[in-house]
Amino acid sequence: MPTLTRVAPEARDAILAWYAEQGRPLAFRRTRDPYAILVSEAMAQQTQASRAALYWERFMEQFPTVGALAAATPAAVLRAWQGLGYDRRALALWRTARIVVDEHGGRIPSSVAELQALPGIGPYTARAIAALAFGAPVGAVDVNVRRVLGRIVAGESISLSAPALQEIADDAVPPDRPGDWTHALMDVGATLCRPRVPRCDACPARPWCRLASHGASTPVAPRVRRNRAPAIRFAATNRWLRGRILDRLRAAPDGDWVVFDGAIGIHDRGQVRAAADAMAADGVLEIRSAKGPDPALRARLPLA
């Protein structure tokens, strides 16, 4: 069988029909508001879509428009973001809102190039917003979509370059349903076309998929990783420490300085200080040291 260079139209139709019946009813899929979609895509970065949807409704209640988000303090945005992790995404979203208000008249730009120029928006997110909010016939490629399309056209995605896969993704988009197609591919990747144990028996694209044609409904062998370092407990990670620092700051009133003068978990004072310094460099918090021979670290959420 020759290597396919595009997704068969029949496979696309089958995926869309499957999505119409079995697609996940996530809250943010009920809107075409570009701002609401921007927020949902920012939340879905590094977070499962189903989990992001739970926080999206709460966030949209607090900041219903891009103007409301732009007018908020970073502290308010970081508090509303609690539970999603990777808090730099919240500040990037806040900065994007300010740019949209100041430079785009309060309207989310519609082109991939303009979207990608905004803070925290990469190639995938820009194309997802363009397709979902503006009906642009562009393919949004993340790790899940890369896996789905790579398996359909080549049996795997490792052999396909990023430009080649982007070309395949763009070619596969139905001009009249780019939003549905974007969601459909994500759902196939999340629920059926899994990394290790793909559910080929339930996949609508099975008749046209090269992986399925090779009988790969059994576990796919993982790539061998040599000299893999031992797993690190989450409480020992810098990400855990940053989260605990932010939890303390979120619990304090705006403008109040919180004193950090001891260890947090297994992280000693020096590690706490190093984490706080890095967070200050990211703009996630502000720090101030008291005078004296052993100055305590004081920190607060940023107000501007």
pLDDT tens digits, one per residue of 213-264 = 876 554 455 555 556 555 678 888 988 999 999 999 999 998 999 999 889 9
Active-site positions?
41
Contact by Cβ (8 Å): 115, 100: no
Q: What is the pLDDT of residues 64-93, one digit of tens each?
A: 999 999 999 999 999 999 999 889 999 999
Both tokens of 166, joined, read 């982007």
CA distance 263 to 271: 8
Query: Counting beta carbons within 10 angstroms of the beta carbon of residue 128, is it exposed (0 to 12), middle (13 to 18) or buried (19 or more)?
Result: buried
pLDDT tens sequence across 270-299: 999 999 999 999 999 999 866 666 578 999
CB atoms within 10 A of CB 8: 16
Find where tokens 């703009």 sit. 283
For the segment 17-45, the average pLDDT, to the nearest whole number, is 95
**Contact between 155 and 214 (Cβ < 8 Å):** yes
Alpha-carbon distances of 263 from 241, 278, 288, rounded to whole Å:
10, 17, 18
Task: Quote the pLDDT of residue 227.
Answer: 60
Chain centroid to CA 303: how far?
A: 25
Task: Burial-class residue 257 by CB neighbours within 10 Å (0-12, 13-18, 19+).
Answer: middle
Question: What is the rounded distance in angstroms from the CA atom of residue 65 to the CA atom of residue 277?
Answer: 32
How many angstroms separate the Cα of 205 from the Cα of each of 183, 200, 215, 218?
A: 15, 8, 14, 17
pTM: 0.86
Give me the pLDDT at residue 233, please: 87
* Predicted confidence (pLDDT) per residue in 167-190, tens digit: 999 999 999 999 999 999 999 999
Both structure tokens of 278? 């890095």
Domains in the chain: ranges and CATH: 9-213 (1.10.340.30), 234-300 (3.30.1370)
Q: Measured between alpha carbons, how far is 268 from 15 in angstroms, rounded to an integer? A: 52
Query: What tokens appear for 32 in the block?
Result: 């075409």
Tokens 């999206």 belong to residue: 56
**pLDDT for residue 296:** 83
The answer to whether 212 and 200 are in contact (CB under 8 A) is yes
Task: Give residue 64's Cα distance to chain centre.
Answer: 20
Where do we find the tokens 């591919």? 185
> pLDDT at position 214, please?
76
Cα dihedral 75→81→83→87 (10° resolution) = -80
